[in-house]
Amino acid sequence: MGETTIGLLHPGEMGAAVGKCLAGAGHRVLWVPAGRGAATRERAGAAGLTGVTFGEMVTRSEVIVSVCPPHAARDVARQVAGFGGLYLDANAISPATAGEVAAIVAAGGAGYADGGIIGPPPVAPGTTRLYLSGPRAAEVQALFAGTFVDARVVPPPGSASAVKMAYASWTKGWAALLLAARALARAEGVEPALLEEWVISQPGLEKRWDGADRSAAAKGWRWTGEMEEIAAAMAAAGLPSGFHQAAASMYRRYEQGPSRSDR
Ligand SMILES: NC(=O)c1ccc[n+]([C@@H]2O[C@H](COP(=O)([O-])OP(=O)(O)OC[C@H]3O[C@@H](n4cnc5c(N)ncnc54)[C@H](OP(=O)(O)O)[C@@H]3O)[C@@H](O)[C@H]2O)c1
């Protein structure tokens, strides 16, 4: 594809950075301010994206990219009914949910590519991969040529989501387990003893707990949905789903905003 008009739903922390990469590659990137909050508006402005109505975005876009909280992926796909271009879902969802999103957009008349993003928002080279799958994956890959987004094709439909699920099952799974371990010690009144034991036999673990706690406080609300998607992916593959159901429960404690001493 040459210069392409791309609709972006929505310019969150990740979406805005992805949109800025696409705009920097010469594409026209549209977004929809209606219904979004101040932080999203600020990010979209800073990224140089063009605000339009939902109808305009659907009519003008050749490609629509969905980068939103995982629990919203299906609803966002339903909103683009009538769109006849190529729809990329780049969310942290299971291969089965990706299949549902594909069916939703196909029923509405669009083509579909599955995506999964690994790494921080792409503001420098070499940090962030966008895995892509399905028959139209190469078309999306071409949009990112020369940008900070390293777009990689894993051909079979749903594989990009599978890579994201397998990867995040570990990165966010161990963090939830570590949070649970310290919470247990706190509940039993032995937190100081556990921390001393960590210093002796698990050096660096308290620092890793700090990082896990900070990240969960900032993003735990979104990770609950992601853990549920991972649990579903595990179950569909005949693997235990309990790890990530429990991880979702840990992150839900942050979603409800408990004080640090309660979680
Ligand atoms: N951030 C990262 O480092 C990272 C890394 C890898 C993958 N990802 C993936 O990128 C996706 C988005 O993450 P993010 O960090 O960009 O999230 P984010 O910063 O929380 O942004 C989410 C965006 O979606 C909008 N949104 C919130 N609730 C919504 C809903 N119910 N329906 C539709 N839109 C909604 C938000 O708009 P308002 O808040 O203005 O309503 C915001 O613009 C996720 O699937 C995540 O797994 C992120």
Per the structure, the complete domain to which residue 82 belongs is given by: 5-155
Residue 69: which residues within 8 A CB-CB, separation 6 or more?
Answer: 12, 91, 222, 225
8, 9, 13: residue to mutate for ligand 1 pocket, most atoms within 8 A of CB: 13
Strands 149-153 and 50-51: unpaired
pLDDT of residue 261: 47
Average pLDDT on 112-135 reads 98
Domain end call among 98, 129, 155: 155
Residues 151 and 167 both lie in one domain: no
Q: Could you identify the atom of ligand 1 that is nearest to the CA of residue 70? A: 45
Residues 131 and 252 both lie in one domain: no
Model confidence band, residue 222 (pLDDT cutoffs 50, 70, 90): confident
Query: The whole model's pTM is what?
Result: 0.95
Indicate which CATH number applies to the domain containing 9. 3.40.50.720
Per the structure, the count of domains in the chain is: 2
Q: Whose CA is nearest to atom 12 of ligand 1?
A: 68
Residues 21 and 138 both lie in one domain: yes
Residues 150 and 177 both lie in one domain: no
Q: Could you identify the atom of ligand 1 that is nearest to the CA of residue 36? A: 40
- Cis? peptide before 10, omega within 30° of 0: yes
Residues 132 and 28 both lie in one domain: yes
Contact 6, 143 (CB under 8 A): yes
Residues 90 and 216 both lie in one domain: no
| Interval 166-175: pLDDT, tens | 999 999 999 9
Residues 223 and 183 both lie in one domain: yes
Residues 148 and 78 both lie in one domain: yes
Q: Whose CA is nearest to atom 17 of ligand 1?
A: 12
Whole-number Å distance between alpha carbons of 148 and 129: 9
**φ/ψ (deg, to 5) at 25:** -85, 5
Residues 102 and 118 both lie in one domain: yes
